[in-house]
Structure 1
């Protein structure tokens, strides 16, 4: 039996460097994905078409190694399509084979759901159980996937034949991470003219498989949550930020263009606060510290909290501008504790 490799900070930084060498202009997205991975959290990427969301997730999956499965979101996708596939064999007999979730066995490491918002709510319901419990029931028995992390992406341009993720499914993602075109003009020019970036399969193959062995992640994730601590002042800061986002009117937030009392319909749940604390601890550890600082919280706050903040129907169409404005207002209103 192969011994599980112990993962250290140098391994994480090495994987980060390797990913930045093949997916250029996405350093912040890569760091946030690694934070999620080290929290054993599921990851949702959101961005325009063609910004490299799929390439980035495939590259991270390769860095983790382990069994990998993928499905494409389509409007006609059924929940059963995740579990089994039916076809006629060469003898003309019907056969049922395991679908993508079951095809790799219980060691399934990454389940990649491409364009998740094209799938219907029934599919999201099954995915919710897989994400929440890391189990599914199929072929008359329960299948457990202890190493599973769900990676998904959605484009935010098209609205035809797409379905908004239900609140419960959104809440199960550790982070929703924006992936935009690189801000650096040189990076955009390289992506356009350097042939190295035109062959996605060859590019991803440059990432060494298993830089962060998937079967070593649970032990490391537990260790980080035990060894990285937060002061009482930091705890009060996190609580105040979350309360400000939950009830911006009571916190006296000033958000241009909207009455704060009519902005938020559902605020941050205890599970959301737990996710924020876990992510901040990992962010601090990657920076080489054993204590969480305010900048760690602020770095992960929006990716962890934004998709868990539910707006009123009148405000929802302006989510992409109002939620960041809400986060900025909370940062400005809540005093940063002395470190």
Structure 2
């Protein structure tokens, strides 16, 4: 149940916002519904993935093999339309294999630049932690600046640009940890988890036959997705909720269990994720629940524990939950949230 002060704020926002794109909400519902036909019983993960991409960010899907990470990424790419590329990360992959580079053209008798697979609207980086950090770092510029530099040439990536990466848990053989700078560029880290028994039975029965990701039809074109991203970022955020997010990010930087807290980029991404969550729910105004629903997938993977805390059995999610629980949820002031 939404507290009355926030309901009052929402009514004010409705009166101030005309021409809200109701058609976009229907398209988003259709997109998520189509993805849910491929990955059964994971509606919350699908919604969180769409919220991250709608925020203009990238998604890291981390889980054990065989639970549908790659399938989810392929399905999302299909319903979004635009150009899709897949990079299978392996131990022998080089940076030039990702961003592109000069190759010899025998017909022309000269070196020509060959674009890498990053030149697409939706890129699936499959098993990203199977490749060494040198190749992983080739994605840093693309993820933040939306450009790539190779052989002294800087080229803009297509817009929109979204990276969906999958990785296996670090305890698996042949995996390399992602650099902290790269983890900070993923807006959310999500885990799919094993399906509930009833959905696993339904998957095995395959009645009616479930569609494969490649059989899904695009719902929108890239230009429409960019408009949705702009609309999501226009969702109103009360100043007290901004202060609340900044306060929680600040205490992660001084928590005794943590050696690395949330960056300013993390705070910005948290707000954007909350805006996108509200937008997916058809609201023009974020609630404290939107921040609470997104705090763990946005912040937890950016935090680092001290060795002593890790040895004591703590993890970043446990620490983050404790810190969030210690901060009271703000209530709106009659004047502080008004636009001027």
TM over 0.5: yes
Q: Counterpart of 1:230? A: 237
- CA distance in 1 between counterparts of 2:26 and 2:245 reads 29
C-alpha distance 177-215 of structure 1, shift in aligned 2 (>3 A): same
Which of 197, 200, 203 pairs up with 2:212?
203
Q: Counterpart of 2:80? A: 64
Which of 51, 63, 82 pairs up with 1:47?
63
Q: How many residues align?
A: 310
Q: Counterpart of 2:300? A: 306
- CA distance in 2 between counterparts of 1:78 and 1:316 reads 33
Q: Assess if the C-alpha contact under 8 Å between 1:70 and 1:114 holds in 2.
A: yes
Q: Counterpart of 1:28? A: 44
Pairs within 5 Å for 1:111-190: 111-138=123-150, 141-145=153-157, 146-156=159-169, 158-182=171-195, 184-190=196-202
C-alpha distance 273-83 of structure 1, shift in aligned 2 (>3 A): closer
Question: How far off is 1:297 after superposition?
Answer: 0.4
- CA distance in 2 between counterparts of 1:132 and 1:282 reads 19
Matched, 1:325 2:318: yes
C-alpha distance 136-89 of structure 1, shift in aligned 2 (>3 A): closer
Question: How far off is 1:151 after superposition?
Answer: 1.0
Question: How far off is 1:57 after superposition?
Answer: 0.3
Query: What is the DSSP-based 3-state SS (H/G/I as helix, E as strand, rest coil) of the residue aligned with 1:44?
Result: strand
Q: Assess if the C-alpha contact under 8 Å between 1:7 and 1:216 holds in 2.
A: no
- CA distance in 2 between counterparts of 1:129 and 1:88 reads 25
- CA distance in 2 between counterparts of 1:304 and 1:317 reads 24
Q: Which runs of 5+ in 2 are unaligned?
A: 1-20, 333-340
Question: How far off is 1:86 after superposition?
Answer: 9.2
Q: Which runs of 5+ in 1 are unaligned?
A: 249-260
Q: Counterpart of 1:338? A: 331
Which of 278, 281, 302 pairs up with 2:272?
278
Matched, 1:218 2:249: no
Question: How far off is 1:267 after superposition?
Answer: 0.5
Pairs within 5 Å for 1:240-255: 240-248=247-255
Question: How far off is 1:74 after superposition?
Answer: 1.0
C-alpha distance 163-334 of structure 1, shift in aligned 2 (>3 A): same
Question: How far off is 1:301 after superposition?
Answer: 0.7
C-alpha distance 323-164 of structure 1, shift in aligned 2 (>3 A): same
Alignment deviations for residues 175-216 of structure 1 (CA, whole Å, 9 cap, x no partner): 11111112x21012222342777x8xx52134222x142222
Alignment deviations for residues 132-166 of structure 1 (CA, whole Å, 9 cap, x no partner): 11111236532211321111000116432211000
